[in-house]
Amino acid sequence: MAQQKLLFVINHIDWFWSHRLPLAKSAQMEGLDVHVAVSGANNDPNLKPQHFTGHELPDSNGGASLLKIIWAIHKIIKTEKPDIVHAITLKYAFLAGLAARFHKDVKIVHTLAGLGYLFSSEGVKPQILRILIGPFLKLALKHKRAQLIFQNPDDMALMIRRGFAEAEHSTLIRGSGVDLKEFPFTDLPDDETPIVLMPTRLVHEKGIAVFIEAANILTHSAVKARFQIAGGVTANNPSAISKEEMDGIIAGTNVEWLGKVSDMPALYKSATLICYPSYYGEGVPKVLLEAAATGRPIITTDHAGCREAVSDGESGILVPIKNAETVADAIQTLLEDRARLVEMGQQSHELAARDYDVSSVVERTLKVYQK
């Protein structure tokens, strides 16, 4: 019997290594031949040593049209004849789902890691996009050979309610998990000037302006703290913040922008408190799971996806979206209560270990493949 093939279709090669490597390795151990379709596959030296087969996709950030990407995925499926296609993110679920419609035997799994710009952004442009893309999105997602994985219950309920998904073809698996060995528990630093850290992609809806405004409020109130933002420039989102914009936003503030940080465990270790005031269409933010695993208290919004990573009042504090004053109050309250910070850090780690261990996420995803 021929070895079964699993084809990942993913938005960026870096996201494969950071978010999906444990799943890909476990699929190999289950006997699957793992292929990865992604822009940048041809230039990645690590795929072959890991026994993954790469397939180059056109780069949408480089100007490739969606039709060109759909056609490229179609040709890969036609040539490789995978048994299962696993598309990651709403955008690539849309593209791969349409391509898979040409192949009656292929089974497809979609992980909707948040609903992103299309469903979370306000204004005329996203509304028009929802109207134009809606029928095609239903065609891509809603058919008998598709299984959908949602990362939070809000997204799953919304997509079922709007007719983009069916309950019997939907599974809730919270987040992409966190490796507790890579992000081990560490005690909170006992610094005279504690660090409040926001780890994030540079996208407006992540709440970067809210974080900076909260930092300004606390600086003017003489609260002793350092405020840091860790994250590199992203080009794959209409709401992305450019380097020039970021430099302008933080000019004259007490906020340090660290850029892209390669050693995130060390960065979390240096921080006392994590703040993530997002109102984006999140799945479950991986940075919050990583921070929780390392034992860091978290302030984030009472918003789909974000609230999944915090037990309010126990491992952190949930705040309303777009409310810098409430964020500032929460930061000050915790920084002034060291014993509570320590207890919240312990609770944060226990939540990550109990609910978000990557091995559990991988096991549940492999069960979806078996469907």
Residue 137 is predicted with a pLDDT of 87
Q: Give CA–CA dist 234/212, Å, rounded.
A: 19
* 45 half-sphere exposure, CB direction, 13 A CA radius: 0
Single-letter code of the amino acid located at 26:
S
Task: Provide the 3-class DSSP secondary structure of residue 332.
Answer: helix
Looking at the chain, the domain(s) classified CATH 3.40.50.2000 span 5-177+357-370, 195-355
pLDDT digits (tens, 9 = 90+) for 112-163: 988 766 665 566 766 777 677 778 888 899 888 899 999 999 999 989 998 8
Its pTM stands at: 0.87
- DSSP E strand stretches across 200-291: 226-230, 255-259, 273-276
Task: Provide the 3-class DSSP secondary structure of residue 368.
Answer: helix
The number of beta carbons lying within 10 Å of the beta carbon of residue 18 is 12
**Quick one: DSSP state of residue 189?**
P
Round to the nearest angstrom and report the end-to-end CA distance of the chain: 20
- DSSP E strand stretches across 214-371: 226-230, 255-259, 273-276, 298-301, 316-319
Single-letter code of the amino acid located at 247:
D
Query: Is 5-177+357-370 in CATH node 1.10.510.10?
Result: no
Residue 119 is predicted with a pLDDT of 67
C-alpha pair distances (Å), 364 with each of 176, 188, 367: 11, 32, 5
Residue 230 is predicted with a pLDDT of 97
pLDDT digits (tens, 9 = 90+) for 59-79: 876 667 889 999 999 999 999
Q: 195-355 adopts what CATH topology?
A: Rossmann fold (3.40.50)
What is the DSSP code string of 105-169?
A: T-EEEEEE---HHHHH--SHHHHHHHHHHHHHHHHHH-STTEEEEESSHHHHHHHHHTTS--GGG
Query: Smallest Cα–Cα separation from 54: which of 74, 39, 66?
Result: 39
Q: Say which residues have a Cβ less than 8 Å from residue 233's Cβ, sequence separation at least 6.
A: 202, 240, 241, 242, 243, 246, 260
- Residue with the two structure tokens 């997002």: 278
Single-letter code of the amino acid located at 62:
G
pLDDT < 50 positions in the chain: none
Residue 173 is predicted with a pLDDT of 94
